[in-house]
Amino acid sequence: MKIKKGDNVIVITGKDKGKTGKIARAFPSKGMVLITGVNIKKKHQKANKSNQKGQIIEIASPIHISNVMVIDDSNKRGRVGKRLSGDKYVRFNKKTGKTI
């Protein structure tokens, strides 16, 4: 998985197309990522105490990595590549050539 936690991404398909956000959590085994403010679902929560009311809360749910692209500092989206810089590998945007 070339996308990691903390990357800035843009959604390229689906109901949230065009929205940008930062990856809060990655699920590599499922191939999904959790992005803050994207793919919001409503959950009905039951009252867990006698004096508390039930409520509807909004939770961000994971989105598949094929539906997002990484954006760099200049807000250009592109695929992620790896190249050797010195003795370490760095990730870069293939379209612009800038490191991520």
CATH number at residue 86: 2.30.30.30
Separate counts of helices (H) and strands (E) for the chain: 0, 10
**Measured between alpha carbons, how far is 42 from 38 in angstroms, rounded to an integer?**
12
Structure token pair of residue 58:
């909004």
Q: Is residue 70 part of a domain?
A: yes
**Measured between alpha carbons, how far is 1 from 3 in angstroms, rounded to an integer?**
6
What pTM, to 2 d.p., does this model score? 0.81
Residue 87 is predicted with a pLDDT of 93
Over the stretch 7-48, which tens digit does the pLDDT of each residue have? 999 999 999 999 999 999 999 999 999 999 999 999 999 988
Q: Is residue 85 part of a domain?
A: yes
Q: State which residues form the domain around 41.
A: 8-93
Query: Model confidence at 49, in pLDDT bands (50, 70, 90)?
Result: confident
SS3 49: coil
Q: Is residue 12 part of a domain?
A: yes
Number of domains composing the chain: 1
